[in-house]
Amino acid sequence: MLGAVVLLAITLLFLDFTGILHHWLGWLAKIQLLPAILALNLAVIVALVLITLLFGRVYCSVICPLGIFQDMVSWLSGLRNKRRARLRFTSSKEVKWLRYGVWVLFVAALVAGVSAFVSLLAPYSAYGRIVTNLFQPVYRWVNNLFALLSERAGSYAFYEKSVWLKSLPTFIVTAVTFVLLIVLAWKNGRTYCNTVCPVGTTLSFFSRFAMFRPVIDADKCKNCKLCERGCKASCIDISSHSIDYSRCVDCFNCLEECKFDALHYKFAWGRKKAQTIPAEEAADPGRRAFMTAGAMLAGSLALKAQEKKVDGGFAFIEDKKEPERSTVLVPFGAGSVKRFYDHCTACGLCISQCPNRVLRPSDKLENLMEPYMSFEAGYCRPECTVCSQVCPAGAILPITPEEKTQIHIGIATVDYDLCVVNTDGVSCGNCARHCPAGAIRMVPKEPDNPESLRIPSVDKEACIGCGACENLCPARPYSAIHVDGREVHTDNR
Amino acid sequence: MDRRQFIKTTVAGAGALAASSAATPLKAAEPAGDDKDLRVIQRTNAKNGDKVSLLGFGCMRWPMKKGDDGRDHIDQEIVNSLVDYAWNHGVNYYDTSPAYLQGQSEAALGEAISRYPRDSYYLATKLSNFGDASEKASLKMYRDSFVNLRTDYIDYYLLHSIGGGGYPMYKKRYEDNHMTEFLLKEREAGRIRNLGFSFHGPHDAFDEFMKLHDKYHWDFVQIEMNYLDWRHAKEPRNTNAEYLYEELEKRGIPMVIMEPLLGGRLAKMAEGPASKLQERDPSRSIASWAFRFVGSYPGVLCALSGMTNMEVLKENVQTFGDFKPLTEEEIEFLMEIAILLDSYPTVPCNDCKYCMPCPYGIDIPGIFLHYNEMVNTGQIATSREQKDYQKLRRRYLISYDRAVESLRQADHCIHCGTCISHCPQSIQIPRELQRVGDYVEKLRSGEL
């Protein structure tokens, strides 16, 4: 029950676009293990380790959204044909080579900064992406339906939110993750958590020494195997009356199944831990598919270029295209590009919360699924600091709107060949009019003719890189002014 | 006959007409359908004896719908039924232009009206050579009108919207290409029965065209007249209707009135002036005051109304069928309303769409209409400390996004100025867009 509430809360944390829920539920993202580690949030790390040492992997049952999500799928599967389906699990051996192999690779990737691999496997990140990429569109479509009705009724209760495909590769990876997890959970319960999940493995180092744990009373046990068949972690072995505490997620289903009062959750520190026998099972087929998902990534949607034309009284507005940036743009509060990607877990919370359609998941292999900024659909508005407030991993440190004006994340550059002053021979200056930093000056196109049309000139020292100029530039598909990121953000605070 | 005299006589006439309805003072509130025998009143063109209905049908605001090709098309079915109703109730003056409704208005009118005998209605159209003013293009535009309207003569032909840009612009559009010369000959030949012009612009330009009257003998002139523009036209780029009226009246030139309702701004207005009008006469619609105002002047031959739907048409037929001119005192009352209206920070946009399409895709009238609506309904925030600030902010931003697609909003205006010369109201469009854009930006950033 608690798990279901937490899952709902975290899901809503990602879905909510009003900014209200974060105030109440934001801590749920900050107590996730990997974000806490990346944020060097020692209090959370120590607390989680202590909880695991005390009670076992309760984290996996009530804190980890991906774990709870799998429990829900497993529970639904159990409803099909109640008793038989509920007791569909079989005991299995620990698949050590896979489990620890993945863990070693994961830690190595984490240290080496191969973030795509880290974020692919991290459970909180995976769940965040599922919500952002799969649930959010549905949530917003439903919202937009209400918005439409609301508009018809002249009410302001609901308003439309745009739904857009932020990154095709990320969407594909997420969809594959989603389907695989459902299949695994539907059939075998917590397979992912006990063979792949690096967070689960990390916690298992502590949970095997847990003070409180479910213990089988061999004297009372009638070897009916109800507990074994009801264990979604497949960690009970009735033949030896042992439980593999490295895999047990403390769901307590076994306690409920036992008809003979032979199972108890109790203080059992120092007792001999479960015997495990080396595994000889083949690699999980799901995992292979999972790992190769990254290789399937292909280019993004090519937008058909169209000419400026009149339609229904409106000039046609061509979609903007993303410019080539010499350095990637990462949010205000990230400090530097390296620091940002070192800490990011690719959970996508910032992406789901960005109200200006600026943040989206990267398609680049080295930062796959991790956020970056671009200004085709909006710009980083001066009053907004949402991403910095929600980031649980410390990749974007909290800033205030006042501080935001003192941070420089990028530099705008003008491409005079694209500027409408030159191409259309009209006066413009929209970039200068909307620059919140006053970094753009309009100067005569012909230096010796002060009456000539004016073209923009950027004061690079003053430019903060918010992208207002790029977004509001009338040149299409490529803006005549674009922002390149700064490797290290200048911070004049 | 001066206005005072005229009012006296028409009141007497209208009084007799209205005698039958005296028992039912709430005539206007009656359900539509009981007006089968109602006919809008007529004025006689002193120059040629034309019996013209005081209510004319302006064909600039017909309903559009999305076609299969994704473009907007006139909803011909509705146009036909509107024309049927109008014709059956005595509306016999139909005013169109090759420029209206993306060039579709003329043909739609031609299709609808040609189902009636040609001598039962008057057609007005224009030489709308705003873009290409060459002789060739202008001649083509003129000849196309005959084809579109399915006729071999045009009753009232206008040089479309002269005045903006002054005499030089007029000269470019109508003298240099010999079009005036040509049109005068067409008048002689009878293919144009009345030749005139429509005017938007400054004082001195109008004086120039009045001087031309001695040479060309304009048969009629179309002016923008209503109780707001009477004394509150945006001078100096526009001219008060009072001046225009008197100049034309002095010369005995019949007037056709455009924008009697200011594109609806005199039908849907802020609560302050609206409630004053309603308190004065609860049974009359707010719009009827504006129509009665223009109809109360004897020099007015016909007042045009761009009627988009049947409800509006029926209401107008009521107003002009059972026409009651305003008293001197009522006119003074409207002059006070005008002062009040003029004090609101609305943008004087009448949604004529002459500015469209903006080459950069801005929905200019959409932005202004939404802003005006918010001003008129008292939904503009003035400070963060205001009691309803959060509500007003939310309402403005949500309804703005609903009314205008974000890429077509004011912050995308680049101030190229292409639109300025197209605006008959001489609105400084980029400046006004920036005013709206700045307000929105302040709401968004929470600065206001």
Any B CB within 8 A of A427 CB: yes
d(CA A221, CA B112): 93
Residue of B nearest to A377 (CA): B407
Please enumerate in sequence order all residues whose Cβ is within 8 A of that of A152, keeping only pairs 6 or more positions apart, or say none: none
Indicate whether A256 pLDDT > 50: yes
- Nearest CB among B411, B445, B447 relative to A472 is that of B411
Chain A interface, mutation test: which of B395, B416, B419, most A Cβ atoms within 10 Å? B416
| pLDDT tens string B145-161 | 999 999 999 999 999 99
Residues B158, B198 contacting (CB under 8 angstroms):
yes
Indicate whether B447 pLDDT > 90: no
Predicted confidence band of residue B415 (pLDDT cuts 50, 70, 90): very high
| Lowest pLDDT segment from A166-170, B60-64, B257-261, B372-376 | A166-170
DSSP SS3 for A307: coil
Look at residue A2 in the predicted model and tell me its pLDDT.
80
Q: Output the CA torsion sign for B279, B281, B282, B285.
A: negative
| pLDDT tens string A33-90 | 988 988 888 999 999 999 999 999 999 999 999 999 999 998 888 888 777 777 888 8
Percentage of chain B exceeding pLDDT 90 = 76
- Of the CA atoms within 13 Å of residue A75, those in its CB half-sphere come to 11
Percentage of chain B exceeding pLDDT 70 = 92
- Average the pLDDT over A16-26 and give the result: 84
B 336-365 near A (Cβ less than 8 A): 353, 356-361, 363
Our CA-based measurement puts residue A145 at a distance from the nearest CA of chain B, in whole angstroms, of 13
Our CA-based measurement puts residue A327 at a distance from the nearest CA of chain B, in whole angstroms, of 27
Predicted confidence band of residue B92 (pLDDT cuts 50, 70, 90): very high
| pLDDT tens string A418-440 | 999 999 999 999 999 999 999 99
Please enumerate in sequence order all residues whose Cβ is within 8 A of that of A381, keeping only pairs 6 or more positions apart, or say none: A355, A356, A466, A468, B444, B445
Cross-chain Cβ contact A428/B70 below 8 Å: no
| pLDDT tens string A89-100 | 888 888 888 999
Which residues of B fall within a CB distance of 8 Å from A434? 411
Please enumerate in sequence order all residues whose Cβ is within 8 A of that of B143, keeping only pairs 6 or more positions apart, or say none: none
Any B CB within 8 A of A474 CB: yes
Question: Cβ–Cβ contacts within 10 Å for residue A387, how many?
Answer: 28
- Average the pLDDT over A300-305 and give the result: 28
**What does the CA dihedral B269, B275, B281, B285 come to, rounded to 10 degrees?**
30
- Helix (H) / strand (E) element for A78: namely helix A65-79
d(CA B231, CA B302): 21
Question: Mean pLDDT across chain A, nearest whole number?
Answer: 86
Residues B124, B93 contacting (CB under 8 angstroms):
yes
- Average the pLDDT over A183-188 and give the result: 90
Cross-chain Cβ contact B395/A156 below 8 Å: yes
Residue reference for tokens 């520190």: A269
Predicted confidence band of residue B3 (pLDDT cuts 50, 70, 90): low
Q: Which one has a higher pLDDT value, B116 or A283? A: B116
Which among A43, B441, A249, B384 has a CA at the least distance from the CA of A236?
A249
What's the complex ipTM? 0.76
Please enumerate in sequence order all residues whose Cβ is within 8 A of that of B164, keeping only pairs 6 or more positions apart, or say none: B200, B201, B205, B421, B423, B424, B426
Cβ-count burial of A139 within 10 angstroms (0-12 exposed, 13-18 middle, 19+ buried)? buried
DSSP A417-475: TT-HHHHT-----HHHHH-TT--EEEEESSTT-TTS-EEEEE-TTT-----HHHHH---
Any B CB within 8 A of A425 CB: no
Which among B274, B278, B283, B286 has a CA at the least distance from the CA of B377?
B274
* DSSP code at position A57: S
| pLDDT tens string B25-83 | 333 444 445 578 899 999 999 999 999 999 999 999 999 998 888 788 999 999 999 99
Predicted confidence band of residue B6 (pLDDT cuts 50, 70, 90): low
Look at residue B4 in the predicted model and tell me its pLDDT.
54
| pLDDT tens string B311-352 | 999 999 999 998 999 999 999 999 999 999 999 999 999 888
Look at residue A20 in the predicted model and tell me its pLDDT.
83
Indicate whether A284 pLDDT > 50: no
- Helix (H) / strand (E) element for B73: namely strand B72-74
- Average the pLDDT over A118-138 and give the result: 92
Could you tell me the end-to-end alpha-carbon distance of chain B, in angstroms, rounded to an integer? 56
Predicted confidence band of residue B7 (pLDDT cuts 50, 70, 90): low
Percentage of chain A exceeding pLDDT 90 = 53
- Average the pLDDT over A186-212 and give the result: 91
Residues A243, A208 contacting (CB under 8 angstroms):
no
Indicate whether A272 pLDDT > 90: no
- Average the pLDDT over A204-209 and give the result: 91
Indicate whether A165 pLDDT > 50: yes
A 376-395 near B (Cβ less than 8 A): 381-383
| pLDDT tens string B97-133 | 999 998 899 999 999 999 999 999 999 999 999 888 9
Any B CB within 8 A of A313 CB: yes
Any B CB within 8 A of A296 CB: no
d(CA B95, CA B106): 9
- Nearest CB among B353, B399, B413 relative to A313 is that of B353
| pLDDT tens string B231-280 | 999 888 899 999 999 999 999 999 999 999 998 899 989 889 999 999 99
Look at residue A463 in the predicted model and tell me its pLDDT.
95
Cβ-count burial of A315 within 10 angstroms (0-12 exposed, 13-18 middle, 19+ buried)? middle
Cross-chain Cβ contact A429/B414 below 8 Å: yes
